[in-house]
Amino acid sequence: MEFIQEVIANNLAQMRKTRGLSLDKVAELTGVSKAMLAQIENGKSNPTVTTLWKIANGLQVSFSAFLKENDKPQIEKININELNPVIDNDGNYLVYSIFPYHPEKKFEIFTVDLKPGFSHVSEKHLGEEYVLLQRGTLTLDIQGEKFELNADETLKFNANTEHIYINPTDKLVRFYIIIFYPD
């Protein structure tokens, strides 16, 4: 069975079962025979574009709904040493994009290295910011109020105001930032 044929078969079967529909009912809704629907679901027939449009219209879904590869879990391992950071403050503030923003997920995750004795001013931006300190001591200045974080401590705040990350120590600070963008 070709890959696209397998994807279509899995998506059609999932749609039908999720809605609690029999093959007979799908045939009635779409005008595609029960035998053809069974062959498509079993991966024994590669449907034409016309047949897929009939099924899409009958089930009131988009044509592309049959082409989505969504039934296999995605596993992604990231090694920060293989990423290129965005560098600011003459190389004293390095941001590694671990999981970039995706509109369906509504968040992004970064790892940040702040070199000893330096600070970084972050302009106000959308979202809620979650800072998780991995190593070192970090001071966060949010509207003049200072918060000190030590390893394994976290802080959450609304990022709609200027905030400053400060490394008051002589050691590298590493922390994670999760930015969540609510509706």
Cα(84)–Cα(67) distance, rounded to whole angstroms?
33
Mean local confidence (pLDDT), 46-70: 82
Assess whether 87 and 175 both reside in one domain: yes
Assess whether 87 and 47 both reside in one domain: no
Mean local confidence (pLDDT), 155-166: 95
Q: What is the mean pLDDT of the chain?
A: 89
User: pTM above 0.85?
Assistant: no
Assess whether 11 and 86 both reside in one domain: no
Q: Which domain holds residue 17?
A: 3-66
Cα(118)–Cα(21) distance, rounded to whole angstroms?
62
Mean local confidence (pLDDT), 59-72: 75
Residue 75 placed within a domain: no
Q: Which pLDDT band holds residue 61 (cuts at 50, 70, 90)?
A: confident
CATH number at residue 36: 1.10.260.40
Say whether pLDDT at 181 is over 60. Answer: yes
Assess whether 167 and 90 both reside in one domain: yes
Mean local confidence (pLDDT), 35-57: 88
Q: How far is CA 73 from CA 11, 69, 76, 172, in A?
A: 14, 10, 10, 36
Assess whether 106 and 160 both reside in one domain: yes
